[in-house]
Amino acid sequence: MLNLGRKASNIEFHWTGHPFVDVGLAAVLLIAGKNKPEELNEKDIEKAIDFASKLYATKEWSSSYLHGMIFPNSGILMANPSMTKKRSPEAIAKNLWSILEEFKANNRDSPKCVLCGRRPAYTKKEVYLSVFPLLGTGGVPNFFHSANTRGADICTHCVFLTQFMPLASYRLPRVLVIHAYPYKLMLELSKEALGDIKKSKLASQARGFRRPENFLFHLVGEITRKIERDEFWESASVTLYYFICNNQNQILDVIHIPTPVLRFVAYANRVDPAGWKHIVSMGWREQLDENDFEKFERERQNIIYSRLLNNESILPYFYNSKERKVNAKWNLLAFYCSEVLGLDKEVLDFIRDVGDRIVETIGKLPDHKLDDEVRNLERAEKLYQFEAFFIRIEKLRQNLGIETPLMTFDEFARILTAYGEDINISWKTVKNLLLFRIYEKLHDKLMKSVESKKIEEMRVEESEYAIYGGGEE
């Protein structure tokens, strides 16, 4: 232990709501094997400082990662290239312990910390990007709203914990910090980073993922399947901070994951993992095998994930219109509609019933007629085309001698206009749900119809060829 005779007694740590500080605290807790800040003791802090300082003193951490991506020219962690000869685990540990000593200072004249609001600002050193990421170099003081020549007003508690943030972060092309609530969820999402470090002594590469949202959704699915329940995500809040901070660039992308989306992805992985994989596969618009899926998931942007994060519908991806088959179970579709789109169960049941009545009708048709009617619905791009489809189905029911009508007038009006303020969006939602139900119930017959058409077309082509002297003699 590199405690150097220092003491960390009577120091209390707490969650702040700031991603860098909280992930640093998560790292300390994970190193100590604890779940709550109030459980930390002096030995735990000694253990965390010892663990971090030995890593940070290595060239692999100091030059390319700490200096190149998080704390450029850090004096505290001795990542400044000019400190190479002086850098050692003991020297870094001494710097970290010196921050802790400032906990005892109680300068009432100092402004309160802008992050936690609990303690006076740290005054032993200017707080710029070498101390706290993304704060600027200090060359332009009015970068800060206070025009403070000493940088940001951040307390010793928050400065100290932020030095441990790299231990619970992931190294993609940039640095990924996952901030989550409840905080036990953040510990769960961050522990792989520390686990990888313990194995390799290098920053976690996030299994080779190059897209932060892909990695997060992969973790959500994996954790849900492991614990076999999705209540873990019931009130979860997750935000990704994807950044790089060095002397050339300070770039930050903030990716908030809507809670309904988290619950849906968790539910999908628990209830219908194969169906969810089919849906995600369509987000790359390429035919994938098992190995391709893993490669694309690590490296390529996915339309499904992008649409979920941007509050855009993914309903058309629940089925494959080319092969006229569904990609998932109805209960997964229903959960998505209720949880993410906000449709009532009563509404879904009503649309499903209408879909079953349509299936009852067109299922009685010859194969070629069945194919024609389904194509009419697939090609409906305008509201009047959608309306005409229902009128044709009603006429078919009468011609087929089906006694009950497809819908009443009130139901007809409801299915066209009642599912959203924008009528051009709402009816398309209904269309997608109806196509899903038709493909689910009539897939085999529809594909048989397609094969019959192909054979018929081949016969026509052969007869035309024979007119010009082709074919057998």
Q: Write the pLDDT tens digit of every residue in 16-47.
A: 999 999 999 999 999 999 999 999 999 999 99
Question: At 413, is the pLDDT very low, low, confident or very high (cuts 50, 70, 90)?
Answer: confident
Q: What is the pLDDT of residue 465?
A: 41
Residue 64 identity (one-letter amino acid) = S
In this predicted structure, the answer to whether residue 420 has a pLDDT above a threshold of 50 is no
What pTM was computed for the model? 0.87
305 burial (CB, 10 Å; 0-12 / 13-18 / 19+) is buried
C-alpha separations of 276 from 212, 265, 279, 284, 286 in Å? 19, 8, 5, 14, 16
Residue 6 identity (one-letter amino acid) = R
Q: What is the pLDDT of residue 412?
A: 83
In sequence order, the 6+-apart residues with CB closer than 8 A to the CB of 8 are: 42, 45, 46, 97, 100
Q: What is the pLDDT of residue 218?
A: 96
Q: What is the pLDDT of residue 127?
A: 86
Q: What is the pLDDT of residue 472?
A: 40
Over residues 383-388, the mean pLDDT reads: 90
In this predicted structure, the answer to whether residue 11 has a pLDDT above a threshold of 90 is no
* Structural tokens at position 20: 């860098």
Over residues 426-436, the mean pLDDT reads: 91
Q: Dump pLDDT digits (tens) for 306-323.
A: 999 999 999 999 999 999
Q: What is the pLDDT of residue 425?
A: 53
In this predicted structure, the answer to whether residue 7 has a pLDDT above a threshold of 90 is no
Q: Angle CA(52)–CA(53)–CA(58) in degrees, nearest 5?
A: 100
Closest CA to 230 of 181, 192, 269, 191: 269
Q: Dump pLDDT digits (tens) for 62-87.
A: 988 999 999 999 999 999 888 989 99
Contact (CB, 8 A) for 71 and 245: yes
Contact (CB, 8 A) for 45 and 28: yes
* Structural tokens at position 276: 């969810």
Over residues 413-425, the mean pLDDT reads: 58
Helix and strand counts by DSSP (H, E) for the chain: 17, 6
Q: What is the pLDDT of residue 140?
A: 58
Q: What is the pLDDT of residue 38?
A: 94
Over residues 426-444, the mean pLDDT reads: 92
Q: What is the pLDDT of residue 92?
A: 96
Total Cβ atoms within 10 A of residue 356: 13
Buried/exposed 198-237: b ≥16 CB within 10 Å, e otherwise:
eeeeebbebeebebbbbbbbbbbbebbeeeeebebbeebb
Element (H, E) at 34: none
Q: What is the pLDDT of residue 149?
A: 72
Between 217-221, 227-231, 298-302, the lowest mean confidence (pLDDT) is in 227-231
Residue that is written with structure tokens 């604890």 in the block: 34
Over residues 92-104, the mean pLDDT reads: 89
Question: At 469, is the pLDDT very low, low, confident or very high (cuts 50, 70, 90)?
Answer: very low
